């Protein structure tokens, strides 16, 4: 009747869908709560995502009470007692050896009925005991029996595994499952893995336990009213300890908020072996009975099987679980697969036996072992260890893995014995260069740990920075977590881990690190994190998070492979590829590997280097064989020396190399000694004597620019490589800017990078002294670079040659800056300036190298040309560069010349003549050699001066002639002079003429006259004067330095004195290439010389410039007027004379400049006068009259 | 801005649409009655009106943004949907009746039978639809 009514209702429901609207109003109300729509969508998603099969009816967000009848009947206490007694008996029939436990359990349930209060849960029970002792079975049995007896409506236990919920699942899946579990009016809910649950879950559960219900933020209410809450713990506990209280061993396994709410406790006791045998037999018989009926066979079980199984169970302390697992994972799959293959047929008689600890199932004809058949082959530790031992080298790593295994195994034994196992974090750090097998070993470690049972899967998830770090802030942690989740049960291998902490401000990297650190802690027992990277960078990385280092108890250093190891690897690679390597090539290969493997450089490649070499060899072999293939020749599988590029090394001929270098004998000698040492070394090696002749051959090259320092360094690098001292022999050329950073702290890094790039070769630091020149402004960066350099030089002393280059004096000062510097640069080689002969030879070599020829006479002319140009001590002399510039200019001139002469013969198109070098013209200029004497003659007056100049030049000339005749050379004459006289008496003019004359005589090489005075020598700050003066002196080198008003240097302060001191020293240093002339007024100069005692002796030539007499001045005026094309009338001359007389007695009288001024004034006056007249003759225009002087 | 546009171009129209949709069955019923009693065709263009209403309601159902105010009343949109189907059935009924009253294609009796059949068929289709996609989960246990 009711059924029919229901059906009719359904039909009405169907026909009038509008009824659904009414239901909707009933369920959700008329007005929707805020954001209902999104909430509903979310719920719809949840329903789809939920794995629970009967989650479909959950749609409203409120637990639904279907109005089922409350299971509790009104029973008298007596009836209740009886029912529970029956239940207990029933359970004890099924669960063996756990009478006290069952009693506790039943009592706690009964307690729930007696103290049934409103709102709260019926009872909160802690169910503990060793795994496999039947706790869960007992509970399930109890619930079933109770429902059979009408004591409860539901017959099954709802099992919630709290560790399954991630943090972000709490408001979703967890609440979903909870409301699902608690939607009935009564029941039993079992929570397991409480320890691993998230804190928020524990809070909610705590609330549930204490208050009987909780409500989430989303408004979902979960009420445990009428429910039994069971907390389940697989933890062996001594029952005796638990007399009504929770044993202390358990208290720390359960969060305290839950602990307070627990009202009853039931602890299962461990089973003894006899009970275990019984249990095993029950379980096994039951399973076998099912199997037998399914397969229609008869299965007998040997009694020994029970005992063995029970023995394993008690030994592992997992009891029943072991048996169940064995049945589920081994027995049933094996037998069913045998049946599926028809190895077992219907009606067969089977027997399950055990012998020597191996289970087997036997038919009449065959015996099959019972061992888990798995698609994933279970690896034994031996397999993996064999694989590990097969790895070449890596002794320290192997030792580490063995130690690790021992530790783990002993720990396991300890755990089995019931002792406290030491919980171990197994996170590791692998440091070492690329190609040293870190990834391979990491993979092996993962598998070993799995084989040891420490990891459930043993997979290796290899990640690097880009896998962990997200694109925007906040996306990193989920991304990292995803990788961690993927690696759970295995190994998370973070390659190049240091990239995560490159900079301090890298929030992404730090976020990833923090996430990993957290995950390492959370999944300590199921995740091993291995980080790998270069040794030093990893150090930095471990420092980035204070918790990191302590979390990685194992730090393993992977050493670089030795050459022998690499040979072994090479042999193995070739064998794997079915190649053979010629026995003869082995020694050569070892040498090759030794050469390629540079300690301290982390790009040497190691294993990868071997592979690359092998592949290269295969390529070379193909080309070698390719030609002979047609004739059927050539062993396709054989790699010989040539394929590896060994044996091509030609004997290094040092003399050949050195012959190409002009000059630099000192350097050549050094290289020769080095070579000899190496030859002796080789002889010793052949004789079997081992000595260590390793030495520092760092050098300081000092010398002027263009003296071939860089070229020499490059050659030296090549030579050292050919001699086997260096491995790559490349030259890294740097200067201050390459070593010094922009801000504090970057210098050391920059320097380190440079040094590392130079390892195996030569580091050439040009202008090295600049590193020590920064003073206050430089911020000490240069110093930092030097300090770093010194340390690195020491560190890589066997693989690096450092050459410092710079000007001689600067370098000497530089070497003294750092006390460690001079000792580390034992070889200080001075590059002298090239002599003119050297330069001429260089020029001819260069000309030849460029494919040109030189005309026959050019050689000699070039020699004289260079002789003139090259002034020792002058830094910008140019040396080699001068030769190049000269040559290039000559080439340009030649092109100009040839372009103008289209009919030049073919053979002369590449000929460079003297005129191309511009030498011929220079010679012509020299031919008019007495020019300067003529100029001297043209000077008015100054007869005494003229005489002196003449005598001086005569003296020099004679000395030269004597030299040419081979007569003893008179001691070098000091030519420094002092010119005394009033202003305008022609001192500068005479000095200029003297410079020219000296050049003609060959005393100095240039006719430059550097004119300076106090202001040009003295600077504003202490210490600067010397520099300034030195600069001026250097400019004047090879010429004449003319210091006007020199007496001013002695006036007042110490700056002048400093200038004088510098000057005097320079005069001594450059005696043969500098002539100094001091000029000043007669009296002042006297005073000046008197004050500085040493000066007078240094300036032996004292020339006094007399004032001009009136007549001489008139003559000067006459000459000046004439030079400008004017004529003086007689009257004008008289006028001028009278003017000059009026100046008599004045200091400016007798002064050339006075005359010049007067004449110029007269010319201006003349112009003014003439401009007022319209008609003037040419004569008027050039005649100066007395009135012109008067204006 | 988005809101302003929605109010001006959508919600202003939508409010009369809601009211009209609810009233429409009665109007249509009156029309049917008129046709049957007076035997005179009624041409009210209700089909076009209905199409327009359907479009607006479709927008409200389809777009979360446009339908937001109407979802405040939980049953409004499902109700309107059902009304549209019912109205559709009635309009088709009117069309069939008009064919008789206007063109005389068949007799009055047949016209009434056809119209009823059409209406019932559409209603049944609607029932099927709501059985397949119920708006509330109904426990049939």
- Give the least confident one: A269-283, A502-516, A596-610, A1086-1100: A596-610
The predicted model gives A29-57 an average pLDDT of 51
User: What would the two tokens of residue A153 be?
Assistant: 């409506």
pLDDT at site A673: 81
CA angle A1079, A1084, A984 (to 5 degrees): 50
* Strands of A571-727, DSSP E: 580-581, 638-639, 699-703
Helix (H, G, I), strand (E, B) or coil at A474: coil
SS3 of A107-128: HHHHHHHHCCCCCCCCEEEEEE
Q: What's residue B125's pLDDT?
A: 93
Is the confidence at residue A462, as pLDDT, over 80? yes
Q: Is the pLDDT of residue B34 over 70?
A: yes
Pairwise CB contact (< 8 Å): A31 & B135: no
Chain B residues interacting with chain A (CB cutoff of 8 angstroms): 64, 68, 71-75, 78-79, 82, 123-124, 126-127, 129-131, 134-141
Which positions ≥6 away from A884 have C-beta within 8 Å? A846
CB pairs under 8 A between A and B: 61
How many whole angstroms separate alpha carbon A1176 and alpha carbon B45? 121
For residue range A898-914, list pLDDT tens digits in order.
Answer: 888 777 777 777 778 77
Locate the chain A residue with the closest alpha carbon to B126.
A17
Q: What ipTM does the predicted assembly reach?
A: 0.87
Contacts of A65 in chain B (CB under 8 A): none
Neighbours of A667 (CB within 10 A): 23
- Look at B136 and A57 and tell me if their CB atoms are within 8 Å: no
Tell me: pLDDT of B94 over 60.
Answer: yes
Distance CA A940, CA A954 (A): 21
Of A989, A975, A1008, which Cα lies nearest the Cα of A942?
A989
Q: Contacts of residue A35 in chain B, CB cutoff 8 Å? A: none
Q: Provide the b/e sequence for A975-997 (b: ≥16 CB within 10 Å).
A: bbbbbbbbbbbbbbebbbbbbbb
Comparing CB atoms, the residue among A21, A37, A57 nearest residue B137 is: A57
Residue A220, min C-alpha distance to chain B (Å): 18
* Chain B CB contacts of A43 below 8 Å: none
Note the pLDDT of residue A1027: 81
User: What confidence tens digit (pLDDT) does each residue in A718-774 have?
Assistant: 777 777 777 777 888 888 888 877 777 778 888 888 888 888 888 888 888 877 765
pTM for the predicted model, two decimal places: 0.47
A47 contacts in B (CB within 8 Å)?
none
Are A13 and B138 within 8 A, CB to CB? yes
Q: What pLDDT is recorded for position A47?
A: 45
- Within 13 A of A1095's CA, how many CA atoms are on the CB side? 24
First to last CA, chain B: 50
Tens of pLDDT along A593-607?
777 776 666 666 677
- b/e A703-719 (16+ beta carbons within 10 angstroms → b): bbbbbbbbebbbbbbbb
* pLDDT band (50, 70, 90) for residue B88: very high
Q: Which H or E run includes A1075?
A: strand A1075-1080
Query: Which chain B residues touch A10 with a CB distance below 8 Å?
Result: 140
Is the separation of the CB atoms in B78 and A24 below 8 Å?
yes
Chain B residues whose beta carbon lies within 8 Å of the beta carbon of residue A23: 136, 138
pLDDT in tens, A160-180: 888 888 777 787 888 888 888
Q: Contacts of residue B141 in chain A, CB cutoff 8 Å?
A: 66
pLDDT of residue A39: 46
Q: Is B141 exposed, middle or buried (0-12, 13-18, 19+ CB in 10 A)?
A: exposed
Give the per-residue pLDDT at A71.
42
Interface test with B, best of A6, A12, A20 (most B CBs within 10 A): A20
Tell me which residue in B73, B79, B137 faces A31 most closely, judged by beta carbons: B73
* Shortest CA distance from A10: residue in chain B: B140
Residues of A with CB under 8 A from a CB of B: 10, 13-18, 20-21, 23-25, 27-32, 36-37, 56-57, 59, 66
- The Cα angle at residue A152 between residues A149 and A154, in degrees rounded to 5: 115
Are A23 and B138 inside 8 Å of each other by CB?
A: yes
Cβ-based contacts of B74 with chain A (< 8 Å): 24-25, 28-32, 36
- Percent of chain A whose predicted confidence (pLDDT) is above 90: 0
Q: What pLDDT score does A784 carry?
A: 79
* Strand ranges across the sheet with A528-533: A460-463, A491-494, A528-533, A428-432, A554-558
Confidence of residue A651 (pLDDT cuts 50, 70, 90): low
- Give the chain A residue whose CA is nearest to the CA of B79: A21
Q: Flag whether pLDDT at A50 surpasses 50.
A: no
Strand, coil or helix: A475: coil
Q: Three-class SS string for A752-806?
A: HHHHHHHCCCEEEECCHHHHHCCCCCCCCHHHHHHHHHHHHHHHCCCCCEEEEEE
A739 contacts A785 by C-beta, under 8 angstroms: yes
Confidence grade of residue B124 (pLDDT, cut at 50, 70, 90): very high
Query: Does residue A66 or residue A601 have the better pLDDT?
Result: A601
Q: Which of A16, A20, A66 is the closest to B136 by Cβ?
A: A20
Q: Crossing angle of helices A709-722/A665-686, nearest 10°? A: 10
Angle between helices B76-98 and A18-28 (to 10 degrees): 170
Cβ atoms within 10 Å of A694's Cβ, excluding its own? 9
pLDDT band at A67 (very low <50, low <70, confident <90, very high): very low
Show residues of chain A in contact with B75, CB under 8 Å: 21, 24-25, 30
Q: Using the predicted structure, report yes or no on whether residue B113 has a pLDDT greater than 90.
A: yes
- Asked if A20 lies within 8 A of B134 by C-beta distance, the reply is yes
The predicted structure's pLDDT at residue A648: 56
Each residue of A166-218: pLDDT tens digit?
777 787 888 888 888 888 878 888 888 887 788 888 888 888 888 888 888 77
pLDDT given for residue A944 in this prediction: 79
One-character DSSP codes across A974-998: P--EEEEE-TTSSHHHHHHHHHHHH
Q: Domain spans of chain B? A: 44-136
Are A352 and A370 spatial neighbours (Cβ–Cβ below 8 Å)? yes
Structure confidence at residue A60 (pLDDT): 39
C-alpha neighbours within 13 Å on the C-beta side of residue A283: 30
Question: Which among A17, A29, A56 has the least Cβ separation from residue B130?
Answer: A17
* Sole residue written with tokens 């050469």: A595
Is residue A927 pLDDT above 80, yes or no? Answer: no
pLDDT in the model for residue B84: 92
Reading the block at residue A788, the tokens are: 């770093």
d(CA A1035, CA A1041): 9
- Compute the nearest-CA separation of B21 from chain A (Å): 15
Select from A10, A16, A24 the Cβ nearest to the Cβ of B135.
A24
Name which of A10, A17, A33, A47 to mutate to probe chain B: the one with the most chain B Cβ atoms within 10 A of its Cβ.
A17
Residue B123: predicted pLDDT: 92
**Cα A170 from Cα B112, distance rounded (Å):** 61
Q: Which residues of A touch B123 (CB under 8 A)?
A: 15
Query: How long a stretch of residues is chain B?
Result: 141
Contact across the interface for B137 and A21, Cβ inside 8 Å: no
- The answer to whether the Cβ–Cβ distance between A57 and B71 falls below 8 Å is no
Other beta carbons within 10 angstroms of residue A895's beta carbon come to 11
Name the residue facing B131 among A14, A32, A59 (closest C-beta). Answer: A14
């Amino acid at each position: 009747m009711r059924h029919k009514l229901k059906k009719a209702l359904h039909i009405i429901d169907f026909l009038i869908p509008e009824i659904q609207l009414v239901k909707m109003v009933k369920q959700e109300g008329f007005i929707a709560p805020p954001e209902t729509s999104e909430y509903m969508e979310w719920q719809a998603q949840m329903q789809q995502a939920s794995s629970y099969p009967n989650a479909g009816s959950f749609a409203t967000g409120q637990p639904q009470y279907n109005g089922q009848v409350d299971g509790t009947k009104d029973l008298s206490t007596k009836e209740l007692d009886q029912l529970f007694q029956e239940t207990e008996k029933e359970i004890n029939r099924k669960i063996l050896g756990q009478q006290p436990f069952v009693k506790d359990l039943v009592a706690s349930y009964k307690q729930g009925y007696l103290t049934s209060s409103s709102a709260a849960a019926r009872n909160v029970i802690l169910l503990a005991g060793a795994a496999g002792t039947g706790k869960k079975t007992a509970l399930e049995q109890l619930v079933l029996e109770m429902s059979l007896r009408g004591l409860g409506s539901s017959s099954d236990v709802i099992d919630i595994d709290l560790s399954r919920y991630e943090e972000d699942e709490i408001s979703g899946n967890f609440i979903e499952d909870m409301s699902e579990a608690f939607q009935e009016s009564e029941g039993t809910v079992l929570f397991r893995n409480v320890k691993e649950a998230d804190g928020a879950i524990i809070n909610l559960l705590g609330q549930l336990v204490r208050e009987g219900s909780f409500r989430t933020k989303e408004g979902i209410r979960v009420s445990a009213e009428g429910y039994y809450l069971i907390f389940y713990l697989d933890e062996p506990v001594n029952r005796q300890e638990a007399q009504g209280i929770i044993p202390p061993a358990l208290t720390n396994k359960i969060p305290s908020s839950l602990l307070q709410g627990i009202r009853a406790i039931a602890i299962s006791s461990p089973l003894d072996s006899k009970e275990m045998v019984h249990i095993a037999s029950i379980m096994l018989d039951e399973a076998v009975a099912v199997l037998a009926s399914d397969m229609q066979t008869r299965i007998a079980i040997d009694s020994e099987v029970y005992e063995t199984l029970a023995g394993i169970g008690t030994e592992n302390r997992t009891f029943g679980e072991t048996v169940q697992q064995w049945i589920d994972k081994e027995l049933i799959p094996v037998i069913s697969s045998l049946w599926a293959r028809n190895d077992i047929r219907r009606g067969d008689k089977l027997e399950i036996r055990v012998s020597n600890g191996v289970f087997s199932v036997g038919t009449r004809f065959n015996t099959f072992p019972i061992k888990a058949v798995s698609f994933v082959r279970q690896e034994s530790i031996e397999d993996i260890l064999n694989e590990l031992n097969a790895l070449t080298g890596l002794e320290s790593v192997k030792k580490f893995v063995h130690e690790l295994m021992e530790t783990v195994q002993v720990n396991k034994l300890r755990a089995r014995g019931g002792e406290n196992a030491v919980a171990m974090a197994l996170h590791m750090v692998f440091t070492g260069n690329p190609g040293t097998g870190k990834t391979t070993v990491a993979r092996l470690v993962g598998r070993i740990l799995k084989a040891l049972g420490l990891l459930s899967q043993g997979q290796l998830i290899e990640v690097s920075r880009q896998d962990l770090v997200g694109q925007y802030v906040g996306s990193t942690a989920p991304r990292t977590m995803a990788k961690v989740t993927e690696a759970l049960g295995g190994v998370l291998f973070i390659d190049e881990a240091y990239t995560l902490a490159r900079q301090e401000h890298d929030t992404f990297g730090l976020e990833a690190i923090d996430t990993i650190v957290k995950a390492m802690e959370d999944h300590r027992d199921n995740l091993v994190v291995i980080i790998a990277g270069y040794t030093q960078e990893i150090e930095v990385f471990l420092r980035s998070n204070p918790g990191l280092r302590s979390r990685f108890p194992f730090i393993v250093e992977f050493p670089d492979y030795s050459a022998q190891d690499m040979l072994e690897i090479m042999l193995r690679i070739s064998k794997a590829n079915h190649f053979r390597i010629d026995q003869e090539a082995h020694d050569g290969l070892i040498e090759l590997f030794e050469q390629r493997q540079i300690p301290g450089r982390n790009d040497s490649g190691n294993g990868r280097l071997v592979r690359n070499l092998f592949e290269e060899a295969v390529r070379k072999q193909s080309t070698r064989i390719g030609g002979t293939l047609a004739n059927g020749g050539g062993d396709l599988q054989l790699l010989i020396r040539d394929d590896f590029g060994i044996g091509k090394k030609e004997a290094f001929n040092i003399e050949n190399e050195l012959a190409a270098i002009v000059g630099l004998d000192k350097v050549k000698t050094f290289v020769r000694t080095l070579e000899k040492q190496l030859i002796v070394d080789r002889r010793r090696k052949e004789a079997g004597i081992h000595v260590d002749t390793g030495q520092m051959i760092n050098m300081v090259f000092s010398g002027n620019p263009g003296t071939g320092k860089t070229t020499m360094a490059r050659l030296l690098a090549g030579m050292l490589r050919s001699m086997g001292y260096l491995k790559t022999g490349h030259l890294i050329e740097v200067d201050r800017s390459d070593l010094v950073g922009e801000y504090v702290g970057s210098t050391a890094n920059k320097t380190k990078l440079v040094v590392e790039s130079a390892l195996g070769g030569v580091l050439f630091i040009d202008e090295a002294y600049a590193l020590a020149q920064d003073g206050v402004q430089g911020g000490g960066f240069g110093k930092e670079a030097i300090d770093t350099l010194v340390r690195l030089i020491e560190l890589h002393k066997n693989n690096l040659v450092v050459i410092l280059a710079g000007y001689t004096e600067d370098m000497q000062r530089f070497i003294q800056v750092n006390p460690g510097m001079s000792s580390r640069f034992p070889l200080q080689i001075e590059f002298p300036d090239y002599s003119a002969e050297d330069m001429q030879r260089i020029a001819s070599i260069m000309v030849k190298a460029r494919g040109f020829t030189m005309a026959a006479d050019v050689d000699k002319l070039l020699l004289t040309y260079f002789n003139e140009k090259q002034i020792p001590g002058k830094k910008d002399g140019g040396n080699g560069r001068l030769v190049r510039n000269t040559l290039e200019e000559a080439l340009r001139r030649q092109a100009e010349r040839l372009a103008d002469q289209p009919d030049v013969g073919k053979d002369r198109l590449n000929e460079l003549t003297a005129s191309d070098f511009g030498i011929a013209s220079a010679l012509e200029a020299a031919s008019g050699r007495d020019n300067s004497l003529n100029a001297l003659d043209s000077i008015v007056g100054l007869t005494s001066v003229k005489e002196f100049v003449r005598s001086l030049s005569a003296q020099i000339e004679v000395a030269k002639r004597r030299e040419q005749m081979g007569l003893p050379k008179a001691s070098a004459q000091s030519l420094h002079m002092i010119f005394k006289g009033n202003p305008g008496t022609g001192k500068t003019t005479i000095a200029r003429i003297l410079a020219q004359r000296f050049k003609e005589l060959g005393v100095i090489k240039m006719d430059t006259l550097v004119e300076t005075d106090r202001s040009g020598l003295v600077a504003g700050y202490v210490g600067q004067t010397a520099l300034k003066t030195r600069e001026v002196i250097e400019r004047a080198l090879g010429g004449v330095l003319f210091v006007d008003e020199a007496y001013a240097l002695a006036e007042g302060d110490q700056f002048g004195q400093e200038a004088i001191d510098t000057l005097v020293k320079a005069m001594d240093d450059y005696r043969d290439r500098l002539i100094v002339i001091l000029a000043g007024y007669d009296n002042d100069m006297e005073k000046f010389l008197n004050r500085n005692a040493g000066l007078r002796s240094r300036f032996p030539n004292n020339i006094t410039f007399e004032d001009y007499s009136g007549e001489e001045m008139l003559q000067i005026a006459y000459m000046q007027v004439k030079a400008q094309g004017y004529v003086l009338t007689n009257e004008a001359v008289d006028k001028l004379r009278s003017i000059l007389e009026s100046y008599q007695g004045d200091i400016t009288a007798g002064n050339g400049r006075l005359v010049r001024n007067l004449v110029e004034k007269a010319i201006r006056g003349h112009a003014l006068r003439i401009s007022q007249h319209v008609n003037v003759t040419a004569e008027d225009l050039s005649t100066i009259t007395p009135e012109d002087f008067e204006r | 801005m988005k809101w302003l546009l929605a109010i001006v171009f959508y919600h202003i129209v939508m409010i009369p649409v809601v009211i009209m949709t609810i009233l429409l069955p009665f109007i249509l019923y009156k029309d049917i009655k008129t046709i049957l009693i007076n035997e005179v065709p009624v041409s009210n263009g209700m089909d076009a009106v209905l199409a327009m209403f359907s479009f607006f309601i479709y927008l409200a159902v389809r777009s979360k943004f446009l339908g937001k105010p109407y979802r405040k009343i939980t049953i409004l949109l499902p109700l309107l949907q059902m009304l549209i189907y019912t109205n559709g059935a009635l309009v088709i009924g009117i069309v069939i009746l008009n064919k008789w009253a206007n063109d005389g294609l068949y007799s009055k009796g047949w016209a009434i039978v056809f119209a009823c059949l059409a209406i019932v068929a559409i209603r049944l289709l609607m029932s099927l639809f709501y059985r397949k996609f119920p708006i509330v989960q109904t426990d049939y246990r």
